[in-house]
Amino acid sequence: LFSLCDRMMNRTAYFYDPDVGNFHYGAGHPMKPHRLSLTHSLVLHYGLYKKMMVFKPYKASQHDMCRFHSEDYIDFLQKVSPNNMQGFTKSLNAFNVGDDCPVFPGLFEFCSRYTGASLQGATQLNHKLCDIAINWAGGLHHAKKFEASGFCYVNDIVISILELLKYHPRVLYIDIDIHHGDGVQEAFYLTDRVMTVSFHKYGNYFFPGTGDMYEVGAESGRYYCLNVPLRDGIDDQIFKITIILDAMNCLTAVFSSKQRVVPRVF
């Protein structure tokens, strides 16, 4: 048992770019990439890096990002900067770049770094070079095909899932962020090859306002979208990770067998 656990720990790939924490969304903005540097410091000082394979990831290209996003949108992200944004007024509005998703120095570079790490993780999983891939910089699940949303510009999750689908017939995506994973859900809403499951706060106009239990997918993807909307006040006793894991084990078995998933309310 211990040798198996050791082998699994050694098969964990951890992707970290030392420069990713240097980007800044702007004064007063709640999204702070610097926290990634703090997280990495914990990994180092607790010695967790000894249990993992550590990689400095490559940067994602425009071509990589256009696997999901439109070329016009990615081209805009590459060209716009705080110094020239006055000349992109129409594009800023069209691509929803502004208040929540500001233009900041190195915007495209930031997107390239976190997306590249997630994509490299998916590639290693595909080639069975690791069993677990970790990229704390990724997970920007609100970005849409044609626009930014909720502090997210490039949806590295969707791009990575598309990479996984090259080698795997189906992918189960589980989102436990406080916000609904709307960008990922929207991307795969019509297919049965990806099942999206999201646990999130819902109601009282909480962002993004989507993710009720009646959003179940459509066409081939009907019943391959599962949302667990939660209200304020949930505590540790109710939100037990063990309960979630047990539910996910059952769901994984059903999804793997290609049976239809019918949501139930508890």
pLDDT digits (tens, 9 = 90+) for 39-66: 999 999 999 999 999 999 999 999 999 9
pLDDT at residue 103 greater than cutoff 60: yes
Same domain, residue pair 109 and 181 = no
Same domain, residue pair 10 and 65 = yes
C-alpha 169/C-alpha 23 separation (Å) is 37
**Residue 127 annotated as lining a ligand binding site:** no
Q: Identify the CA nearest to 104 among candidates 183, 16, 29, 19.
A: 29
Q: What is the pLDDT at residue 265?
A: 34
Same domain, residue pair 129 and 66 = yes
pLDDT digits (tens, 9 = 90+) for 27-43: 999 999 999 999 999 99
The region of weakest confidence among 4-8, 86-90, 237-241 is: 4-8
pLDDT at residue 161 greater than cutoff 90: yes
Same domain, residue pair 195 and 144 = no
Same domain, residue pair 185 and 223 = yes
Same domain, residue pair 149 and 188 = no
C-alpha 260/C-alpha 255 separation (Å) is 8
Q: Do residues 105 and 121 touch, judged by C-beta distance below 8 A? A: no
Same domain, residue pair 184 and 151 = no
Structural domain span for residue 89: 1-167
Same domain, residue pair 112 and 185 = no
Same domain, residue pair 156 and 46 = yes
Assign 114 to helix, strand or coil: helix
**Residue 212 annotated as lining a ligand binding site:** no
Residues 40, 69, 141, 142: which is the catalytic one? 142
Active site residue 127: no
pLDDT digits (tens, 9 = 90+) for 182-224: 999 999 999 999 999 999 999 999 999 999 999 999 999 999 9
Q: What is the pLDDT at residue 238?
A: 72
Indicate the number of domains in the chain. Answer: 2
Q: What is the pLDDT at residue 252?
A: 67
